[in-house]
Every structure is written in structure tokens, then in C-alpha cells.
Amino acid sequence: MPDAAKRANVTLRDLATSVGVSQSAVSMALSDHPRISEPTKRAVRAAAARLGYVPNSAGRALRAGRSTSIALVVPQTGRHVFGHPYFMHLLVGVTEEANARDTALMVSTNPDETHGMAAYERVLRSQAASGAIVASASISDPNVNRMVDAALPVVLVGRFAHLPHAASVGTDEIAGAAAVTRHLVQDHGLTRIAHISGPLDHQTAVDRYEGFRGALAASGRPCTHTLAAGDFSEESGRAAARQVLDSMADLQAIFAANDEMAHGAMLEIRSRGLRVPEDIALAGYDDFGVSRLTTPGITTVHVPAQALGRRAASVLFALLDGVAPDPLHTVLPFELVVRESCGSHHG
Amino acid sequence: MPDAAKRANVTLRDLATSVGVSQSAVSMALSDHPRISEPTKRAVRAAAARLGYVPNSAGRALRAGRSTSIALVVPQTGRHVFGHPYFMHLLVGVTEEANARDTALMVSTNPDETHGMAAYERVLRSQAASGAIVASASISDPNVNRMVDAALPVVLVGRFAHLPHAASVGTDEIAGAAAVTRHLVQDHGLTRIAHISGPLDHQTAVDRYEGFRGALAASGRPCTHTLAAGDFSEESGRAAARQVLDSMADLQAIFAANDEMAHGAMLEIRSRGLRVPEDIALAGYDDFGVSRLTTPGITTVHVPAQALGRRAASVLFALLDGVAPDPLHTVLPFELVVRESCGSHHG
DNA sequence: CCGATCTGCTGAAACGTTGAAGCATCTGAG
DNA sequence: CTCAGATGCTTCAACGTTTCAGCAGATCGG
């Protein structure tokens, strides 16, 4: 256990004078260079432990031409980012992997909507981080293209159809939305369904809507559907539910593009004296907690955000090691989580 | 808009050759040194924009002897940290302030329970970050003492009674717990109350328990209370509720030390055919979302975690600027949030 | 018109690290 | 005994930045 004077920052030079060899010998001893004798190595290691030597990361990064950190870049404001449990789970996964590789993690968000470049500039071009994981919701964020174009080590989380050459990690949200839609149609026999989508400049919103429509079309049954767009917030879900409940007679079910909007819809349904699921069945997407807490629980699709984070980090490390990620686009499985909000248990 | 060849990393030297002055002149021009002429400054700035120059953070940090990053250190595993909404809100606040100062944020957690030092070593002693915000739940984390002893720029989030000289930011949780307890006793006339505490090696758990007892003692009414300790998880809250419901006859209310345990207690109460609040009133603590989502909503105390994060960051920046924080210990106000779980609305 | 002062730049050093190249000293083969 | 090679270290340079000291040339007071 190191205990001695740890005030000043101990450098290689301090170790060198302490042991009585040159600075380089110390450096080589610590990296176990074959041309350094065992006794010297032992002496150096002992001194390092005694003085509490920790290599200066700036010196190391400068010399190596790359830092020992990776960054999680989310080109949105912090409030938006960390308010959403998705990013939290992502963060858990990324830190797990980064910790395993003893790599520091920088988190970079935008100060506000106008500074699109900031999150990216700050960490990557200044080489504060040697690579980045980018989680951008917007379908056409020019900064993402820029990073990819600059051939920087980047892993995208989500689906970026227009960037086929960039490494990415995601789930098949079209299939996920289709699965939950099929559950409504085929397991519960519901055919008059509304979809509350997210903002349609989000890939996620587009994909979930597409999955919904595709499943209806493929169902072989005459289904009626309607759409109202929200912004993924509970309040917008409630407003959208108001709209579809007013406009579509004999509505049987609502599939919201995320659980928060589904929760908003549930509040609106209830406020009209209707019951979930007896009068209106309900389904959401994400499974980050909201859907488990409500009564009844909301049927949803589990997004493996933590696994996505882990995988994104490991793909990034592969890139940094100069290994081509295989596959370039990882698609992790989703899981349909059936709860009470869409009707009696059909198995 | 910079557009030219941004492949290679542009250094001061590149700018220097491009403009036709020395490296130092470029550096001085960019920092608006008075001894550089306006025309030169304009030329340098133009070249910097054209080539897309971004200062290398390692070079800068090495020269300056300190980095431009701050760290949020949470000596726990990532899973534990980011699973808890408290840290999320804290993170929002910290990033807001860090972004405002154009400072990168490193997030450091422990790889596992055994590596107590890791989160701290990685960022601070290697000088990857110039200062740290430490959010440690454990009452006697030796690493916190170590950091404070090492006189590193550190701001603690929470109450660290044994470290009076370290800057800290927190709320008065004793008063918060007392407020919600008073609400149960005085506004609702409940006198047979159980407390479900957190693990009593957490300062937070200790303080909330103390606030509870203090408020009962100060109420001037004959109150009966009992205690069961949980670990802040929903499941442990349910188990603790089982225990107090079995052991205390005529129990009227349960005050859980956080909302998740309160939610667990609610599930247990309901499973016994009892109603909240008619048969058993319920209160929690934190207000990070759970308490708002349940039906009925859970009366709780709002912890201003985001504000804590913001304030912690600004205090840290003060420390880094060499300014003594005033006050050394910031105490932000909490807020009692009355919902339906403790009875009819008394105003 | 000469010394002092100002202006605008250059050169060099330093931060801590790493690693290539170099230099003794020792060993062992011939 | 000699010299090739191994062994164990040292010296030096470089990464990109900032800044201090210094150096020309211009400006100005007397």
C-alpha cells in the first residue's frame, strides 16, 4: 500500500533519481523491456509503488499521438440526453466495457441546439479521445456525416442507412414494431389500431412506424389504422391519444412508439372513463421502466440498450486496435415483453 | 465553414508554415497577444479556420500542467450508478455547467467492488482531469478521504460530516425526512408509522432515518414507530413492508427512505388486499420519477439532483480558479411533494 | 542624429513520456 | 588473445503547446 509523500506529482524523473538510473531505464523497466535487468526492474517497481507513481496521461498521449480515452458523443443537450433512460443504459454498457479495458470515458453533449459541432470538436479533433461512440437521434445530423467522412474511429449506435461504411450497432426496430403489432392483431384479434409515432425526423420513429404498417399489411386481415405524431414525451402521447380517440370510431388499440407516450395515452384513455385493456388495448416500445411501473403494465418491446453500449464500445476498441469489426453492422435481438395492457394472457 | 483537407491533424506548425510566421507567433496570435499585429492575427485566424485547426489537448495539458477536463467520480460499478436516476440528474447538472465552461467531462466508475481506487486513480492522479466531483454513497469510503487528504481539487456531493474541510454540495435530508414525517403526523393525524430505511452505512439512509425519528419526537404526540432496513431496491422495500405489516398491529403509515422501496411497499400492501392510502398511508423520498408514475402517486421529498450537479460543477470551477468556494458547504433546498398516497388533500 | 523605447516577431526551453540509437562492459567462441 | 555478440544502461529526440528572453527594425525625444 503506497503511503509516502504523494503530494507532488511523481514523474519518471523522480523515480529515476530515486533509483539511480536514467529516466528511460525507468520507463523501460515499467514496460518490462527485455534489455533491463531483473534487479533494476524490481528496484524501479518498488520505487514506483513507494512514491505512488501514476503515468501522466497528457505526456503519454502526446508521445503516443493518441489518448487513452474514448468518448460517448450525444449531439443533444445534456438535459435531453440524460433525461432519457435509453442513454443511461447505453452509458452503463459503455462504462462496463471501458472499465474492462481500463480506459477513461468522456461524455460529450451539446451546450444547446445551435452548437452542433461542439460535442464533437471538443473531444475528437482535439484528440482528447481517441475514438467515439455516437448516439444521434436525428435522421440527418450533418455532424455524424462529418465525423464519418473524417475517417475518425467512430461507432454509431442506431441505424444510419445513409452511412453504410461506418461501423454501427443497433437493433431491428422495424421488426420489433412489427412483432408488437402482430401481437395486437393476431394474438388479440384487434384490427382498428392507431399508431402514435415519434417525430418523423428520427430514424427510430420512422422505423417503428414502418414496422407497424408492414405488420398490418402482412397480417392478411382487413385492418384500419391511423397515425398521430408525438415527440416521445408523455404529454405529446396524451395529446396524440386525444386526437386518435376523437377521430377514429371504434378504436380498439393504440401502439405508441415509446412507453412514455403510451403512458400519456393511458392517462387520456382513463380520463374518458375507458379502461385499459378492456376498452382500448395499449402497447409501447423501449421497456426502460415506465412500462413496468404503470398499472396495468404496458406491453412493449425491450430495447437492449445496455448491450448496445457494451457492444459499441467493444467495436470501437476493435477499430482502435486496427481490426476491422466483423460484422460492420451489429444487430442485437429485441424482445417482445407482453404485459397486461393489451388484453388477457394468450401465452 | 471549414471545408478543406482536414484529414491530418493540423498543428501550430502547419499554421505557421501556411501563414509564413513562426510557431510561437501563431500561438500568440490565437491567444490575442498584444505584441502581435492585427494583420498577422487576421492571417493566422483565417488559416486556422481554413485548415480546421483545433488545439491538441494533450500538448496543451502537458504544457499547462493541468488538463481541461473535470471528472465525475462515482466509486461504484457503472450498473449501480447509472441505474439510479439520481446520478442521471446529477449528470445533467454537471454537463450543463461543464458545457458552459467548454470543459470536457470524464465519467469514472469502478470496474467492480474490489477496485476501490480505480475510479479515482484513473482520472485524477494521472491528471487526465484537473479536478473531480465525487458522489459516494458509502459513509466510510476511504478513497474519498484519500482524495481530500491529497489536497486535490474535489467537490463532494452529499453530506460528509467527517470531512469538514472539503467543499461539498448537498441538501438537508434530515430536514427533508422530518418534513414528510410531520406531514404524515400533523396533516393526516397518523401516529403508528413504520420507517423503511436504506442501508445504514449510507449517509443518506442515516439522515433520513434521523429526520424521521426527530420529527416524531418533536411532534408532541404519542407516536409508535418501527424500523426495517432495506437496500433502496424495490424488492427490499417489499420485503421490509412484509416485515413491518406482520409485526406492527394497527400500522397506519409507512415512510420509505426512497421511492423505489415505497413502490415495493405499495405492492406488498396491495397484495394483502389493503388499500393505499385508505388503509395504509405511504410516503417515499427522491421524486425521480417512480413516485409520479404509480397509482396513486407517492408523496415524497424532491431531491434537486440536477441543481446539485450544476452547483457542484460551479464550485469545482471556483476551486480550479483558485477561488475559495463560499460557502464551503452548499445546502440546496428540498421540496415536499404531496401526492395521493398519504391521504386526502389537506392543502 | 543618437540613445531609449516601442513594436513585432523569432528561438529556445519546458511539460512527461517513449523508443531508437549509441556506448560501455562482459561473455564466450575461435 | 581477439573480436563478435549479448547485456544493461544512457543519451537524445520527438510529440504539440505556451511563454520567456531576445533581437531586429521602427519611432521618438532631445
Q: Which domains does chain B have, with CATH numbers?
A: 3-54 (1.10.260.40), 67-170+308-333 (3.40.50.2300), 173-303+336-342 (3.40.50.2300)
For β-strands A154-157 and A167-171, DSSP reports them as parallel
pLDDT category of residue A346 using cuts at 50, 70 and 90: very low
Give the range among A46-50, A79-83, A278-282, B218-222 with minimum mean pLDDT. Answer: A79-83
For residues B96-122, give the mean pLDDT.
77
Q: Which three cell numbers stand for residue B70?
A: 473535470
pLDDT category of residue B80 using cuts at 50, 70 and 90: low
Chain A contact present for B297, CB below 8 A: no
Question: A69 to chain B: which residues are within 8 Å by CB?
Answer: 106, 128
pLDDT of residue A4: 40
Q: Which three cell numbers stand for residue B310?
A: 450544476
Q: What is the pLDDT of residues B208-218, one digit of tens each?
A: 999 999 999 99
What are the DSSP calls for A122-190, one per residue? IIIITTSSS-EEE---BTT-HHHHHHHHTT--EEEES--TT-TTSEEEEE-HHHHHHHHHHIIIIIT--
Q: Which three cell numbers stand for residue A265?
A: 395515452
For β-strands B104-110 and A104-110, DSSP reports them as antiparallel
- Looking at B219-293, list the stretches that DSSP marks H as alpha helix, in order from N- to C-terminal side: 234-247, 259-271, 290-293
Say which amino acid occupies A116: G
Question: B263 to chain A: which residues are within 8 Å by CB?
Answer: 293
Of B57, B92, B100, the CB nearest to A126: B57
Chain A contact present for B62, CB below 8 A: yes
Question: B59 to chain A: which residues are within 8 Å by CB?
Answer: 58, 62
**What does pTM read for this prediction?**
0.87
Angle at CA of residue B154, ends B327 and A57, nearest 5°: 150
Per the rule left: phi > 0, alpha: psi between -120 and 50, beta: everything else, B187 is: alpha
For residues A215-238, give the mean pLDDT.
89
Q: Are B260 and B237 in contact (CB under 8 A)?
A: yes
For β-strands A132-134 and A69-77, DSSP reports them as parallel
For residues B293-303, give the mean pLDDT.
92
Check whether A316 has a pLDDT greater than 60: yes
Chain A contact present for B88, CB below 8 A: yes
Phi, psi of B175, deg, nearest 5: -65, -35
